Each structure stands twice: as C-alpha cells, then as structure tokens.
Amino acid sequence: MFFQNVADALRSLQVDARAVETARKSEDAAKRSLDIVRMQLKYGQVSQIAVFTAQRIYFSASLLRVQAEATRLADTAALFMALGGGWWNGASDIRH
C-alpha cells in the first residue's frame, strides 16, 4: 500500500505540473490580449466594454492558474504524507 500511495502521489504531481504550465500559458495569453485591447481603447478602436471583457478573461485565467498551483501544493503535501509524513515531528521530540 505504501508504494501505491507514493506512486499515485507522483502521478498526481506529473498531471499537476502539466496543468500549471497550461494555466500559466493561458494566463499569459489573456494578459497579452488585455494589453492589446487597452492599447486599442487608448486609440479609440474599441469601447470600454471590450476592456472589461478582456479583464474578465484575464482574471478568470489568473484564478485557474492559482487553483492549479493550489492543487499542486496539496498533492505535494499528499506525497510527503505518503512518504511517512510527520517524521520531522519525531526528530524534534528526540532533541528535548
């Protein structure tokens, strides 16, 4: 069971790494799009509604990236637990 838990946690981290990378690319693309729309607004080519729409898309992409990173961190904690998490607590008890 120990090895299965570690293998599952490592697999999850691989999936998470791809998800975070994809989310970062989406966020970067949304930011570039927002920058372009803001420039277009500056020169009168689009309305403020277009800027609001681009901002909404960018903020959604940013939220998805943060959620992907949170999942990765949770799965990292799961890996530590699968490896016998809590071992560091025992070491501090020995010193006292």
pLDDT digits (tens, 9 = 90+) for 63-82: 999 999 999 999 999 999 88
Closest CA to 75 of 28, 5, 23: 5
Share of the chain above pLDDT 90, in %: 78
Question: pLDDT category, 85, cuts 50, 70, 90?
Answer: confident
What is the per-residue pLDDT across 45-61, written as a single tens digit (0 to 9) for each? 999 999 999 999 999 99
pTM of the model: 0.82
Mean pLDDT, range 36-42, rounded to an integer: 98
Whole-number pLDDT of residue 84:
85
Sequence-distant (6+) residues with CB within 8 A of 82 are 2, 5, 6, 8, 9
